[in-house]
Structure 1
Amino acid sequence: MEPLFLQSVFKERIWGGRALRDVFGYEIPYEHTGEYWAISAHPNGPSMIENGPYQGMTLDKLWKEQPGLFGNPKGKVFPLLTKILDANMDLSVQVHPDDTYAMVHENGELGKTECWYIIDCKEDADMIFGHNAKTKEELQQQIREGKWSDLLRRVKIKPGDFFYVPSGTIHALCEGTLVLETQQSSDTTYRVYDYDRRDSDGNLRELHLEKAMEVTTVPHQDAVSERVVRENDKTRMTTYVESAFFSVYKWEVAGKSSFSFNDQYLLFSVIHGEGSLIHNGRRYDLKKGSHFILPVGFGEFEVDGNCEMIVSHT
């Protein structure tokens, strides 16, 4: 049994830039590279295994053909998606449906609850997180009249911040923000407002106002998640959220630490530093920008080095 290291898919976005190259050293394919789907089994951009006996197999195929690696799950699709987003410009203001709505209106797609870890951002950065409408009628009126400054709620952010973004939350990352996103494996987004920007063909991008107004939670409710910190040898482990969809942690490694996991597969993204994962006498290099999965039953292993990782599981 080996860790499953992944090669993944980049996405061109109107708001993207070059931070994925400049910060992580990725060979980005576009001048406006906005997203790296780092751990993905979604049909719009599946990751590929780059090592071991499953080398060359896509993650969605591995999920179907080797379910024992994931604890023989009941779900038909790999449930999580890890992305890194480079918001070189403001993203469109958007909202996502829950599972029930998406099942009916999006051909069985999952809903989209997500969360953000702010890797970096410009000084005095902010983002759009929620709205100020008290009723559905007020929400609809302000959207139709374009009263965006009255409607949209802005929140200051800084590197190291974490935000849980349940389905139904109006939100948008803003210029100068680099984020690791953990989300349900869904590509469904309802665009509410896009600053009247035009695409490369000169067309206004499509909005999805009726669906957006149907799924938006009114009034806005901040999701509360209490951070819990514990130490394991030379690793500081911070729990950010434990929800019905995923649990997300940050591991800050400063030396050698021992772990043992058997009952859950784990997703890892190295966001700072470097180190090694040691398992059954083998050493695997961990570097900034690496992404990998530890299968169910992986057992005892060590992590040695100085690095920070975002860790998640269902």
Structure 2
Amino acid sequence: MNQEANTNRGGCRSWWRNCDVEADSEILAIDQMEDSIGPLDTHTTQIRQLIARFESCYHQADKEAERIAKAIGAGRRPTESSARPPKRRKELQNSRRILSRWCKNTTIRDLNLDVGGIRADQLLSFIGEPSPLKVWQVERVVDKVIEALDPNRPSHRMVLDLGDYGEPGAYPTGEYYRDDASFLEQTKNTLIHDTVDGRKARISLGLSIDLLMPCHWDFVGSLVTILKAIGGDLHPPRPFACCSRNLGLSPLCDRVRTISNTLRSFWRGSKRIKDIDRDVLASLGPATTVKRWLAASLDKTIRLQLEASSDFWLTFS
């Protein structure tokens, strides 16, 4: 056995930590494929690690899935860069410039900047009339953006103590802000009213700031919702999306699903599966046991993420 089957709450091997599910019959069958291979070589292990880090909510999830498929075909992990894509980096940089300047001078205007096409003056208008509480809340947003641009300057959680894969107690919450306890409580108690997969839901402003992710497909939309909530608009016309919350609204879902179909056609050796990408299929090359296992792993990971229950997010209501 190449992986110990004991790290996920559902008894899955650690490869499946980004799915947060119990091992079903298909996962067990895929694990058996792994066992039949014998000891994994370095390249195979590295590719499987890429799959274990794949997130369908990533703002370039389609490109990442294609990149992993090509790696499966080539038999080696591609060269990676820690640099953020230029468009997202610009959005983050401009968010920091606009909001940090407002925190220092709430009367500032005429900033010739935008975030995802939304002008600075429009973003700031969402906040409304300034107050000490609003400045403190916007500073927490700035902290999240700064962390995204410089991981050596981490932000501090207000509400969410879960780790990257749902580990409870992974992060201390609130203690850092004990000198601002009143602001913290008001932020935690401010509730945004929206929907999760069409069902009525609520999420606290504090939690939404904790969940403002720079790599998320709807970073700009999430930022707008948060700034409007700080300004008192707690009923956004567009549901708040973060992590798997409202993932179905992502414009990348259809493309990622097509890649999943293609992978499934490859590893099952089936020509009956519809909506596949011939170029992705060609990039996988001739089928081998290792390729079939890796393709099955990515296919299953994508399907589990896209089909995940939204009930978890309703527990915050």
Instruction: Name the TM-score class by shorter chain.
Output: under 0.3
Bigger share in helix: 2
- Point out which structure has higher relative CO (alpha carbons under 8 A, 6+ apart): 2
TM-score when normalising by structure 1:
0.27
TM-score when normalising by structure 2:
0.26
Q: Which has the larger radius of gyration?
A: 2
